[in-house]
Amino acid sequence: MEITYTMQGDYFLPNLTLPEQENRQIGVWGQRHKRYLLNHHKVRYYNLLTSCKLTYYLADINEQAENMYQLLVKQLAEKEGVTEHLKAENAMLWVQKMNNIQNRAREIVNNELIYS
């Protein structure tokens, strides 16, 4: 293993590269958590990045958040009686209630997973 260096000003810095990683998609939830880590937990972010675990970590957070969001929307809709019957009967009321449910579910996921 040979280490090469590059001259930067008066210093020689090693040419370091990270090993190749599997390309996993990071969705909206993962991107939000990444931004949160960069702004509030920089040490944790850089530890994950340099240990080549950041992509896996963010993809897992994204998957957990998406599953939690879908489950919450489904449970809240059932609890409040927002059904296909209501959608056929009064579409505007259904849209209003579903938007409210989705906003609450998004807030819960943000507080429980993304910004904690």
pLDDT in tens, 21-61: 778 889 999 999 999 999 999 999 999 998 889 999 999 99
Distance from C-alpha of 47 to C-alpha of 92, rounded to nearest angstrom: 48
Average pLDDT over residues 13-26: 82
Q: What is the tens place of the pLDDT at every residue in 58-77? A: 999 999 999 999 999 999 99
Q: How far apart are CA 38 and CA 20, in angstroms?
A: 22
What is the model's pTM?
A: 0.80
Q: What percent of the chain has pLDDT over 70?
A: 98
Confidence of residue 112 (pLDDT cuts 50, 70, 90): very high
Provide the pLDDT for residue 1: 67
3-class secondary structure for 9-55? Answer: CCEEEECCCCCCCCCCCCCHHHHHHHHHHHHHCHHHHHHHHHCCCHH
87-102 pLDDT, tens digit per residue, is 999 999 999 999 999 9
Are 44 and 96 within 8 A, CB to CB?
A: no
CA distances from 104 to 49, 51, 55, 91, 96 (A): 32, 35, 28, 20, 13
* Mean pLDDT, residues 5-19 taken together: 88
What are the sequence ranges of the domains in the chain? 31-114
**Residues 13-23: what's their mean pLDDT?**
80
Distance CA 45, CA 51 (A): 10
Distance CA 20, CA 48 (A): 15
Give the DSSP H/E element, type plus range, for residue 7: strand 5-8
Look at residue 86 and tell me whether its pLDDT is greater than 70: yes
